Amino acid sequence: MSGVPTSYYLVLSALLFTIGVIGVLIKRNPIVIFMCIELMLNAANLTFIALGRNFGQINGQMYVIFALAVAAAEVAVGLGIIVAIFRTKETIDVDEINLLKL
């Protein structure tokens, strides 16, 4: 079986995860932050798929299906919260929103 080695997938996954972490730490727009979190989740999903293929197990694919379901629910709730914050504060800049202060 000639194909792409598993190490290439793992390096790509680590690179995508690193880009996601940097995006979460640097960006101030919550929509971009959610996109970076999704990028990190997809990097973890790529790792599950690559290692499942490497070991000949289907468990990695099952974990990915559950992770995608959780990610879809997270996006729905997160965007709802962003819309609610925008309606009350009229901004979605993370630095300007202080909901926990009285």
For the domain 6-89, what is the CATH code?
Answer: 1.10.287.3510
Going from N- to C-terminal start, the domains of the chain cover 6-89
- Please work out, in degrees rounded to the nearest 5, the angle formed at the alpha carbon of residue 96 by the alpha carbons of 94 and 97: 70
What is residue 3's predicted lDDT score, i.e. its pLDDT?
A: 86
pLDDT tens track of the chain, all 102 residues? 458 999 999 999 999 999 999 999 998 888 899 899 999 999 999 999 999 999 999 999 999 999 999 999 988 998 898 888 888 877 777 777 666 565
Task: Please say whether the beta carbons of 66 and 73 come within 8 A.
Answer: no
